[in-house]
Amino acid sequence: MFEGLNLLVSENAADRIAYARDLWPRHHLAVRQGRKLGEPRAVVWPRSTEEVAQLMRWAGERGVPLVPFGAGSGVCAAVSPTSDAIVVDMKRMARWRRLDTAAPSLDVESGHMGVPLEERLNREGLTLGHFPSSILCSTVGGWVAARSAGQASAYYGKIEDMVTALECVTGKGDVVTLHHRTTGPSLVPLIVGSEGTLAIVTSATLRLHPLPSTRAFAAWSFPTTEVGWEAMREMFQSGLRPAIARLYDPFDAMLAKQGSVKKRGVIPHAPGRGSTVLRTLLRKPRALNALLESRPFAAMVGGAMLVVIFEGPSSATDASAASEIALAMRGRDEGEGPARRWLEHRYSVSYRQSPAVASGLFVDTMEVAAPWSRLGALYENVLRAVGPHVFIMAHFSHGYADGCCIYFSFAGSANDGGPWDEACERTYDRTWKSALDAVVAAGGTIAHHHGVGRSKAPRMDKELGSDGVRAVHALKRAFDPKGILNPGVLVPPVSPFPYPERW
Amino acid sequence: MKLDRVSMLVEVTASAFVADVERELIAQRLTLGLVSTPNTTVADWIASGAPGARSPWCDPADHLVAGYVATFADGRRVEIRPAPRRATGPDLFALVFGQRQRWARLESAWLRVHHRDARVPRTAPFETEERPWTDGEELLAKAIDAELSAGRPR
């Protein structure tokens, strides 16, 4: 089949199974049931931009769908290939093309993994400032594709704020370099966030920063989550830019103070008595949520907690200014400990998903955002909508002067009759349908940094309007006239998809 | 002009003059935070790439426009609710910003406003070269021309 292509290709069954999905939790539920997911026809590992262009032209001539693949850590089913598709794993393209230490910026190939990139930059005295929770299992191309955010986005910005140029191969097989222009036209923002549907990104030129020489740590407790976010708002609107600012609701704050969610987790590692209790408890989550949201509970566990870390030469004075704001708003000083502990365990929590699934539960996260004036409605709407279905908690990270991202974490199990795994899936679908409806009703955006994939594609008309979705279709035709790039992702599916089409 | 003081955003019609918006904001101890205030309408200002605005590299976590309404050449109207950031596909604002109304006309915009006495955040110095529009970019732009005016869903 691949004659004439000088590419590294595998049609091996193990490879095809390994590349059949990303980390969308509903994929995990399917796997737990032993249900077979769609496997691609083959996996390809291009080693150069020319090989990507060659593959694109070959696929275009034959109408073969291509699914770009970074490291597979996406959580929205952007990797869900059909049986005729070829997955294009970019990790063999991981060279540094040009480091400009004066600017400073780096042109790096898109298959470069996150941690080795940051470590090598640090040895040069530089940082990208991009620290997504998935940094251990994500690539530069994946960050660009999903419009990713790092934990320090409040100072360094999201990935779209770091890209100065992109080299990519369009669906026609043309190699183009797109440039950011501060006051001129730029096509870069069309590719960033396009999730492999318009072009395959082969390299990105990224803005760098000097490695910070100092950090200042601080944390405060607040009687309620709302008072905490008001303090956070005041900080950002006064011009402070903490690299890290995370506000935890009372339950999440209790876990963060104990460090338990980072060290041991609240969810058992394997099936056993603990998981049986948890499964039973989560069948009726409404009462549990009501208890944990109550004021007496908030008071008992010490309220909400805001953790901040400032970086750079003015970090100490910035932390003092933040402290003045927090204390004036009934904040109680918690010292440096919570922020230091958070930094030490900043990536640990991402590895709790599989043990939860193995225990017969499911867990997921939803990252939504809104202007500050709508944040309360967004928070309350989602809690009210989702609370009957799953146990839910939240933290507020990725703050900005005009608004904030709310990161909801939820855990659920089967809360109706029938076979356990199927009932879990029904709970999962009900949860997401209710949650996305609630977000739209509150005037929020349905994704802050996880992207859309296939899982939220049917809701894009609520985000962009039907004319906005048509504009995305028009862009798709312009960049990828044969429609071979990741079909079904971003805008409503055009190919078979083994999950409900409308949540 | 509709001010959301909690979010520090102001909704303005695209036909408003930037200088008039700034004058009204100053009366409320607020500002657009521009380096220089252009004597143009908001529509023309955005279509020409917002000259006079602070470089986005100075404070990467902030932005100039949080939401907008725009009408495409074929009459379709896109309304994007204000949000600090989003990850919902291509940023369609790229079809408006700096494009001199090639593809879309701005109808209204939610602009970021600042307290006049707020400190001005500043990261390490960084600037990019304003490179000329390349042949490859123009080729793609022509394809977008054709598809946006065709306006038919696949």
Angle between helices A250-258 and A337-344 (to 10 degrees): 80
Instruction: Select from A188, A238, A464 the Cβ nearest to the Cβ of B78.
Output: A464
Q: How far does Cα A385 stand from its chain's mean position?
A: 22
Instruction: Select from A187, A443, A490 the Cβ nearest to the Cβ of B94.
Output: A187
Instruction: Select from B9, B82, B153 the Cβ nearest to the Cβ of A473.
Output: B153
Q: Do B66 and A191 touch (CB under 8 A)?
A: no
Residue A61 has pLDDT above 80, yes or no: yes
pTM of the model: 0.95
Instruction: Select from A179, A184, A190 the Cβ nearest to the Cβ of B90.
Output: A190
Residues of A in contact with B72 (CB under 8 A): 467, 471
User: How far is residue A333 from each of residues A35, A251, A255, measured CA to CA in Å?
Assistant: 51, 18, 18
**pLDDT on residue A296:** 87
From A51-55, A412-416, A431-435, the region with the lowest mean pLDDT: A412-416
If you count residue pairs, one on A and one on B, with CB atoms under 8 Å apart, how many are there?
262
Residues of B in contact with A194 (CB under 8 A): 89-90
Angle between helices A225-237 and A315-328 (to 10 degrees): 140
User: How far is residue A58 from each of residues A34, A54, A172, measured CA to CA in Å?
Assistant: 35, 6, 10
Domains and CATH numbers, chain B: 2-150 (3.30.465.10)
Residue A81 has pLDDT above 70, yes or no: yes
Q: What is the pLDDT of residues A232-277, one digit of tens each?
A: 999 999 999 999 999 999 988 988 777 644 444 555 555 566 778 8
Is the Cβ–Cβ distance between A65 and A87 less than 8 Å? no
Mean pLDDT (whole number) for A192-216: 98
Amino acid (1-letter code) at residue A475: L
Mutation site for B-interface testing, chosen from A402, A482, A489 by largest number of B Cβ within 10 Å:
A402
Amino acid (1-letter code) at residue A217: F
- Chain B's closest residue to A456, CA to CA, is B88
**pLDDT on residue A480:** 97
In angstroms, rounded to a whole number, what is the distance separating the alpha carbons of residues B72 and A467?
9
Q: What is the C-alpha radius of gyration for chain A, rounded to an integer number of angstroms?
A: 23
**pLDDT on residue A350:** 65
Q: What is the pLDDT of residues A398-430, one digit of tens each?
A: 999 999 999 999 999 988 888 999 999 999 999
Domains and CATH numbers, chain A: 9-89 (3.30.43.10), 96-210 (3.30.465.10), 215-441 (3.40.462.40)
Tell me which residue has tokens 């890290």.
Answer: A244
Residues of A in contact with B84 (CB under 8 A): 369-371, 398, 400-405
A10 CA to chain B: closest CA distance, Å?
A: 30
From A277-281, A425-429, A438-442, B25-29, the region with the lowest mean pLDDT: A277-281
**B87 touches A at CB < 8 Å:** yes
Residues of B in contact with A462 (CB under 8 A): none
Mean pLDDT (whole number) for A335-362: 86
B113 CA to chain A: closest CA distance, Å?
A: 9
**pLDDT on residue A283:** 85
Q: What is the pLDDT of residues B94-116, one digit of tens each?
A: 999 999 999 999 999 999 999 99
Structure token pair of residue A292: 């944990």
Tell me which residue has tokens 């006064």.
Answer: A238
Instruction: Select from A155, A449, A479 the Cβ nearest to the Cβ of B61.
Output: A155
CB neighbours of A121 closer than 8 A, spacing ≥ 6? Answer: A106, A127, A128, A208, A211
Residue B11 forms beta bridges with which residues?
A: B2, B110
Task: Scan residues 43-82 of B and list those with Cβ closer than 8 Å to A.
Answer: 48-51, 53, 55-57, 59-62, 66, 72, 76-82
Mean pLDDT, rounded, of chain A: 92
Residue A278 has pLDDT above 90, yes or no: no
The per-residue DSSP string of A282-312 comes to TTSHHHHHHHHHSHHHHHHHT-EEEEEEEES
Q: What is the pLDDT of residues A283-319, one digit of tens each?
A: 889 988 998 888 888 888 889 999 999 999 999 999 9
